[in-house]
Structure 1
Amino acid sequence: MGTTRNAPLEAWMREHGHSANSLAEAANRAVEHLTGRTGSYDGSSVRAWKSGRIRWPNQLTRQALEIVTGLSAADLGFVPRGRAHTTPAPQQEDDMKRRTLVGGGLAVAAAAAAPGTAPRRIGMADVERLQKRFTEVIASDHRRGGQPDIEQQAAALADEALNLQRAGSSTQRVRSSLYAAAAAFRSSAMWAAIDGRRYPEAQAHMREAQALAEMSGDQGIKFRIWSHAGSMYRHMGRPGDAIAANDVARGLHITRRDPLFASLGLARQAAIHGTAQDRTGAHRAVGQAQDAMTRADTNLHRPVWLLAFYDQAELDSLALSAYLSLGDYPTAEAHAHRCLAALRPHMARSRAIAQTRLAHAQLAQGDAEAAVHSAMQVPATAATQHARVSRMLSEFGATLRATASGSPVVTTWTEHTAAWRASA
């Protein structure tokens, strides 16, 4: 007797843009949350599920797939042993089993109300309330990026979104929106940790954000998390891992629907190519990012996190990073000036980073006086409290003393940094 293909699973994969390999990766991460050990699925495992060769996976596999999809094994088209494919799937399963996620910070209890009270109905208004508070976290990040309190606020919002899942009943749309919100908040916690060079914390946030994003089915937040992962590995000096993570983001079908997502993915790819000393790849990616941004429809609805930061100034900032890494200092300086001219007033953190990189590009071209003038424009708070800016300015000072020893600008810089420290 031949096997019957698992049409529900295939349909879910098509709807959510999953290949066999990407679903296997998501399931492996879910197993890690359940057991502490990464799963061993690959593309052939998923093909066996799709083809019907495996009609009823083992319990761990079923739990992992339920975490990834938010659906029961029966709803995904799997059939318990001894039942025919034509047997109607159960209409309901134990909510505790379907909703409880074990591991990390993902423990979500079943929806329950206190004895004698009616369950609360959770709606989109609850999601919107959380999203409004999220904008405050984003605003703080743009002002003071990388601070532990921003990371903690974002993580707390993620937990609050998950707690709403157990506060009452809701529709599938609301549940998906809450998972997407939790993933977005956790992704912001991840970014704050990256910006503060707290990489172990960033990786922990990343794992939780990835699992939540899979449950939400939201392509935009999946892109954000994988794109952040690429940036994290770039800052850690691991360009191979950075390219692989960013390729996952760029492979999502949202980048084909919306050129602005494609542009961000390409701009970050350029910065990674710069770290990897791939001059041709960086130059090509910058050009492609610019072309995609030109094609982007400004009237499309997009998530607040994207609209809050990605524009021409950010594209030039990433190009600045790429060319600075490559040692093409005149081109880096040109992008720095373009970035600083276009930055929106509230982007204080981005301005400090661009100003510091401009100083590096000018110093590398032998213009110590202009470089010191640029570096002195960085606010004291960023210079002393932002981990990335502090490190870049420390490196700037060391290079200045090595290349312009005895110059009055060295004295000027030394006195200025002493004033920074005194005001911190």
Structure 2
Amino acid sequence: MDTTRNEALEAWMEEHGHSSNSLARAANSALERITGKLGKYDGRMVRDWRSGRVRWPNAATRRALEDVTGLAAVDLGFVPRGQPSSTAPPSQEDPMHRRTLVTGVITAAVAAAAPGTTAPRRIGMTDVQRLQDKFTAVIASDHRHGGQLGIEQRAVALAEEAINLQNAGSATQRVRSNLYATAASFRSSAMWAAIDGRRFNEAIGHMREAQTLVELSGDQAIKFRIWSHAGSLYRHTGRPADALAANDVARHLHITRRDPMFASLGMARQMAIQGVAHDYGSLRRSFDQAQDAMGRAEPGAYRPVWMTAFYDEAELHSLALTAYLAVGDWSTAEYHAHRCLAALRSHMVRSRAIATSRLAHAQLAQGDADTATHTAMNVPAEAATQHARVSRMLQEFGAALRATAPGSASARTWIEHTAAWRATA
């Protein structure tokens, strides 16, 4: 059997920075967009295409590759059945040379027709990666500061930068899909910053923009994030039925079956919504299911940066803490608070302030004003004065302390402590 290497495909992969595994993932996603069913390509299959062992993939594979590359199968070096490679059809003969020649002719014609103009810029994966590096920085800033208007505005500006890049030049379908996914990622971060800062009207606007962009991208991971955040938005605004419906969209995406870590996060957030809905009987079962799915997730598997940066055992206990506080099970809430704080990674500054504030509430509700006050005083002044969600929780803590222990030493200590915060704000 003739196994002449597919140099055209190899050249395209090198030009666009694809390994065998990354092209397999892109083809899987493309097939899911086309057919609704995730593909099962892997690096071995791509190596078969490159080596020439597979000269003419099946129709679905050809359609997926054409979707990824924007090129016909014959232009990617594949040879139709019954056609010997030594006598390839005209469109197959030296496809790299043919495309280079055609491109040169078109460029010359355009230049002749419009003197002084230049060829359109070619947008590639390096442009996408540059934006994704900025997305990583937005995620890091969110976990340190959280809820700040500046984070929201920065994310919106970067989303617009990604969209503007769509119109800045020519690009393959793969690049365009990634640009839409990146823009959706930034909008979802703007949405979360607005939720975290209790700017709910703004959050709704970001949510709608993000939902449109993600449909253009076909990216399941960021679609999960957006709908999961939508569930959190409705939970924070006291709409548990809508929250459950939105979170169900996230939980029923294919990615939750492919990666149990997504299934775990979806169930953990459902638990928090069940708390707001006062569905006490479901909380333990939801926690166990989320924990079981997390245990089944493959360690070290590729996941998007927004997922790896925050979702772990600490976040699972944080969501359980939220749920049990909502239903008034103070001792169980305190248990999850301690588990959360013990497992939190050092960069989770915002999350530590929130968990500490919630722990203080749980302790105070059990009648231990002294311990609760000491716990609340451990919240950093920056979070207490500049993070809207933390500030509100501590204001509610102070009101509850004055109501349950008026005139006590703890109440006086808390008043003095918050006065010092306001003086430095």
Partner-residue secondary structure (3-state), 2:273: helix
Give 1:241's aligned residue.
Answer: 242
The C-alpha deviation readout for 1:298-355, integer Å capped at 9, x for no partner, is 1211101100110110011000000111111111101101111111111110000000
TM-score for the superposition, normalised by structure 1:
0.74
Note closer, same or farther for the CA distance 1:171–1:376 as it changes in structure 2 (3 Å cut): same
* Structure number, greater radius of gyration: 2
CA distance in 2: counterparts of 1:169 and 1:275, whole angstroms:
48
SS at match of 2:117: coil
Kindly provide the amino acid, as one letter, of the partner of residue 293 in structure 2: A
**Matched residue, 1:194:** 195
Residue pairs, 1:210-229, within 5 angstroms: 210-229=211-230
Q: Does residue 339 in structure 1 map to residue 361 in structure 2?
A: no
Distance 1:308 1:155, change over 3 A: same
Number of residue pairs the alignment of both structures matches: 324
Q: Is the 1:359–1:375 Cα contact (8 Å) retained in structure 2?
A: yes
Alignment of 1:17-416 (within 5 A): 116-416=117-417
Q: Which amino acid aligns with 1:188?
A: S
AA paired with 1:154?
A
- Moved segments of 4+, more than 3 Å: 8-11
Following superposition, the deviation at residue 15 of structure 1 comes to 4.0
2:81 maps to which residue? none
- The answer to whether structure 1 residue 14 and structure 2 residue 36 are counterparts is yes
Q: In 2, Cα distance between the equivalents of 1:310 and 1:381?
A: 24
CA shift, 1:256, in A, is 0.7
CA RMSD across the alignment? 2.0
For 1:370 and 1:266, the matched residues in 2 are separated by 32
Please list the CA deviations of residues 335-385 of structure 1 after superposition, one character each: whole Å capped at 9, or x if unmatched.
101111111111110000000000000000000011001100001111111
Measured in 2, the distance between the counterparts of 1:257 and 1:10 equals: 13
Distance 1:192 1:280 in 2: 32
Would you say the 8 A contact 1:16–1:219 is kept in 2?
no
Amino acid at match of 1:160: E
Go from structure 1 to structure 2 and tell me whether the alpha carbon gap of 1:400 and 1:212 turns closer, same or farther (over 3 Å shift).
same
Asked whether the equivalents of residues 199 and 232 of structure 1 are also in contact (C-alpha less than 8 Å), the reply is yes
Q: Measure how far apart 1:407 and its partner are.
A: 1.1
User: Which amino acid is the alignment partner of residue 410 of structure 1?
Assistant: A
The structure in which a higher percent of residues are helix is 2
Please tell me the residue identity of whatever aligns with 1:281.
S
Residues 269, 282 of structure 1: 8 Å contact kept: no
Distance 2:371 2:352 in 1: 17
**Runs of at least 5 residues in structure 2 that lack an aligned partner in the other structure:** 1-29, 40-66, 69-113
The one-letter code of the counterpart of 1:12 is: I
Residues 384 and 12 (structure 1), Cα distance of their counterparts in 2 relative to 1, 3 Å cut: same
TM-score between both structures, scaled by the size of structure 2: 0.74
